[in-house]
Amino acid sequence: MKDDTKWNPDLRLLTRAEVEAIFGFPTRRYLEIVAGTDAGPIEIRIGRTVRYRVSDVQAWIEQHRAAHLE
């Protein structure tokens, strides 16, 4: 199977730990708390695992950035 994530980074799914690493401070517990609400990035659930699209995490970051600029 070809690795399409090289050509389309939006296909890459991030774990909560990877989202936390992007932020550089603890967010994993926050993501668990806001799961299923509009307060966090859109989740993709496959069985018991939770993943996030890179573009959804970026949109969530921009949403918070925009809220602070108003």
Residue 10 gets which letter from DSSP? G
Using an 8 Å Cβ cutoff, are 15 and 51 in contact?
Answer: yes
User: What pLDDT is attached to residue 15?
Assistant: 93
Using an 8 Å Cβ cutoff, are 25 and 61 in contact?
Answer: no
Tell me the C-alpha distance between 18 and 52, whole Å.
Answer: 9
**What pLDDT tens digit does each residue of the chain (70 aa) get?**
556 656 676 678 999 999 989 888 788 888 888 888 888 899 999 999 999 999 999 888 888 776 666 5
User: What pLDDT is attached to residue 13?
Assistant: 93
Give the full edge-to-edge strand order of the sheet including 49-53: 13-14, 49-53, 44-46
